[in-house]
Amino acid sequence: AQSVTQPDIHITVSEGASLELRCNYSYGATPYLFWYVQSPGQGLQLLLKYFSGDTLVQGIKGFEAEFKRSQSSFNLRKPSVHWSDAAEYFCSGGSNYKLTFGKGTLLTVNP
């Protein structure tokens, strides 16, 4: 079955530290992959997407993600976290119209 897994439910980092949020997918073929961010009381905002081509994709707010076929992973990274990055992050994937979302990773940023 198609699935997206985010192994970390909650991550805490200090402001200025680097960040990596993990995402693993299970699809028969390479899916379209996305990272979304959700602030409290808000909808999901697209950070970046991967369809094909260059496996390192750049997104908004200084985020990037790398598609690794051998590891079935699409991890989200940011070199220096800001307090405003505190939110919940969702990885999602789809091979057609239907996106499957991970359970989300809640990011807390300590001052």
State the nearest-atom distance from the C-beta of 22 to another protein, in Å: 16
Cβ distance to another protein smaller for residue 28 or 97: 97
- How many H helices and E strands in the chain? 0, 12
Q: What are phi and psi of 87, to 5 degrees?
A: 180, -175
Residue 6 and residue 19: Cα distance in Å, rounded?
14
State the nearest-atom distance from the C-beta of 80 to another protein, in Å: 27
Cβ distance to another protein smaller for residue 29 or 70: 29
Cβ distance to another protein smaller for residue 1 or 70: 1
State the nearest-atom distance from the C-beta of 44 to another protein, in Å: 4
Stretch (H or E) spanning 10: strand 10-14
- Residues of the shown chain interacting with another protein in the complex, contacts defined by CB under 8 A: 32, 34, 36, 41-46, 49, 51, 90, 94, 97-99, 101-104
Residue 65 and residue 74: Cα distance in Å, rounded?
6
